[in-house]
Amino acid sequence: MHTLYDSDTYSVTHMLANAVVTEVAAGRSEGKTIIELQVPTMPRHGFEIVDKRSGKEVYLDGSWAELFQQHIVAWQIKTPTQEEVEDTLEQYAELAQNPVVAH
């Protein structure tokens, strides 16, 4: 998990998938245990955008995360102003329905 952006208004965190390979006993052959490796079929990365004004967050994954990643790449090529970043985040924050809850 990496915080990409943090201001008085928004916070953006890149959530990395924890694609952990696990060993599972698959059976026995000639007195030996056969171990099978299980790899998650679809590790997913995503972005959490928190609107600090409303206290709500939205989690972007799949095609939404890909679209947001395109914004990040564009920002790396041409450094945006804070206002441009916040305008983009505001558009995504309109999707926010989940209240931020601390555990």
Does the pTM surpass 0.85? The reply is no
Q: Of residues 2 and 24, which shows the higher confidence score?
A: 2
DSSP summary character for residue 8: S
Q: pLDDT, tens digit, for every residue of 20-78? A: 556 666 666 677 767 666 665 556 789 999 999 999 999 998 889 999 999 999 999 99
- List C-alpha distances in Å: 28 to 22, 25, 71: 18, 8, 51
Instruction: Transcribe 30-63 into DSSP letters.
Output: TTEEEEEEE--S----EEEEEETTTTEEEEE-HH
